[in-house]
Amino acid sequence: MGATWYYSRVGDSACIPSTASAVPTAVPAAVPTTTATPRHSALVRVTHWITTLCFFALLVSGAEIVISHPRFYWGETGNDLTPTLFKLPIPASRNLVPTGYGYVLPDQNGWSRYLHFQSAWLLVFTGLLYVVFGLWNGHFRRNLLPEGADLSWRALSTSIASHLRFERPIAAEASSYNVLQRLSYLFVIFILFPFVIWTGLAMSPAFVSAVPAAVNVLGGQQSARTLHFFVSLALVLFLLVHVGMVWFAGFRSRMRAMITGTVITGRAATTKEGA
């Protein structure tokens, strides 16, 4: 009887769960993972970097051209003996240009003009390819054309205030442009770039002889040169703001997206034992 009672107690205790087994299984912490979201097509990336190189070459060579004659006029003619509309307070690279300085800078006008014209034509062909591609596959309509709700005063004021406060972009903006980006890109692509090309061609004697109206509308070749200078300054300002915003929003991620075409974003994935 004693043995029977003992084995009965042992068997009953085996059916009762222990304290360790009664504690619920803890859910493991979230495992950080990443996901790659398509962002820029191959043609957009290629034309972007070609445009970047061309713009840098145009900026350097254009600065050298301006140094050769840092005086600007309005109308058809302008030279060393005519009054200026304005002049840059820098020495020239030519002795005959009156700038008020007792010395001149080294003359680099030869290679700078060749580089300027070659880079300009490469930029024109690259821009035409980008525009044709964007119209053909709906890139402008899908990625750059703002929606009606985005153009409301409330949406615009909110976006402007956010930029003025230097707020970091939200995660959703890594895969799409905000309204200010869309408007500024459309303005640069369809207003500033065509106008800087137009004013540049208006200074070409060969082009003007074939299309005289191109320079007559602007008021003359010297007017075209002056307008070309101001539009170039506007493009440089856009470039500075663009690079600054890329740096502020996350330089590595934005550069990676423009090189690889994808945006890497973090995502928390949870797993449960025995689920």
Q: b or e along 226-264 (b: 16 or more beta carbons within 10 Å of the residue's beta carbon)?
A: bbbbebbeebeeeeeeeeebeeeeeeeebebbbeeeebe
Rounded to an integer, what distance in angstroms lies between the CA atom of residue 101 and that of residue 87?
13
Q: Residue 163 corresponds to which tokens in the numbers above?
A: 């930029």
Rounded to an integer, what distance in angstroms lies between the CA atom of residue 52 and that of residue 140?
20
User: What does each C-alpha distance from 98 to 85, 103, 105, 195 come to in angstroms?
Assistant: 14, 10, 13, 30
> E strand or H helix at 232, and its extent?
helix 221-260
Residue (of 221, 238, 203) closest to 116 by Cα position: 203
Q: Residue 108 corresponds to which tokens in the numbers above?
A: 């680099």
pLDDT in tens, 55-97: 999 999 999 999 999 999 999 999 999 999 999 999 999 999 9
pTM equals: 0.79
Rounded to an integer, what distance in angstroms lies between the CA atom of residue 32 and that of residue 263?
16
**Radius of gyration, CA atoms only, the chain:** 32
Would you give per-residue pLDDT tens digits along the chain (275 residues)?
454 444 444 444 444 444 444 445 555 555 556 677 777 889 999 999 999 999 999 999 999 999 999 999 999 999 999 999 999 999 999 999 999 999 999 998 889 999 999 999 999 999 999 999 999 998 898 889 988 788 888 888 888 888 777 777 665 555 678 888 899 999 999 999 999 999 999 999 999 999 999 999 999 999 999 999 999 999 999 999 999 888 887 888 888 888 888 877 655 433 333 33
